[in-house]
């Protein structure tokens, strides 16, 4: 299948958002067969090349929208990927955990609990990678 006009633009955006190391890793583990390569190529062209490059919202806001929507529909592998993107675009652990906490009132405790577990594990993984991981949330100081 030939690649369309938005493919190169989409691939550049994808690498910017996900990071070179993660792109290599998922290319070798997720997109390592012809069926998944077709899916990847479509996502690169349509999602990264057309949606992520639209005017009107910055990439940081788009990443938070992805985190929220993944949580709401229980898309856990995608949530992990989009949390990584959100961190790469400047969201902090505190900001992302607060966005997830805010969702408790709208999508429910069990869903948000699972999302927070995904986030906790990803943030630890990113710190271990030495990536630009967010700083861990600090416990509030006790009042005397």
Q: 87 and 34: one domain?
A: no
Q: 66 and 115: one domain?
A: yes
Q: For position 144, what pLDDT does the model report?
A: 55
Which of the residues in the chain have pLDDT under 50?
none
Q: 61 and 125: one domain?
A: yes
Query: 31 in a domain, yes or no?
Result: yes
Q: 31 and 66: one domain?
A: no
Q: In this structure, are residues 75 and 45 in contact, taking their beta carbons and an 8 Å threshold? A: no
Q: For position 1, what pLDDT does the model report?
A: 57
Query: 71 in a domain, yes or no?
Result: yes
Query: 139 in a domain, yes or no?
Result: no
Per-residue pLDDT reduced to its tens digit, 25-42 = 999 999 999 999 999 999
Number of domains within the chain: 2
CATH number at residue 103: 1.20.1290.10
Q: 45 and 65: one domain?
A: no
Whole-model pTM: value is: 0.85
Range of the domain at 26: 1-54
Q: Which residues contact 19 (CB under 8 A, 6 or more apart)?
A: 84, 88, 131
Query: 99 in a domain, yes or no?
Result: yes
Q: 42 and 20: one domain?
A: yes
Per-residue pLDDT reduced to its tens digit, 56-73 = 999 999 999 999 999 999
Q: 126 and 86: one domain?
A: yes
Q: 12 and 63: one domain?
A: no
Q: 50 and 83: one domain?
A: no
Q: Which residues contact 17 (CB under 8 A, 6 or more apart)?
A: 48, 52, 59, 63, 85, 88, 89
């Amino acid at each position: 299948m030939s690649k369309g006009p938005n493919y190169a633009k989409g691939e550049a955006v994808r690498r910017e958002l996900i990071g070179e190391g993660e792109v290599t890793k998922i290319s070798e583990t997720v997109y390592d067969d012809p069926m998944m390569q077709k899916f990847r190529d479509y996502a690169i062209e349509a999602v990264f090349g057309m949606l992520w490059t639209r005017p009107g919202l910055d990439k940081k806001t788009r990443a938070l929208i992805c985190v929220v929507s993944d949580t709401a529909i229980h898309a856990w592998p995608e949530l992990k990927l989009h949390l990584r993107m959100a961190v790469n675009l400047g969201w902090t652990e505190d900001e992302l955990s607060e966005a997830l906490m805010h969702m408790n009132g709208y999508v429910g405790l069990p869903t948000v609990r699972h999302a927070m577990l995904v986030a906790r594990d990803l943030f630890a993984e990113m710190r271990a990678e030495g990536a630009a991981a967010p700083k861990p949330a600090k416990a509030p100081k006790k009042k005397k």
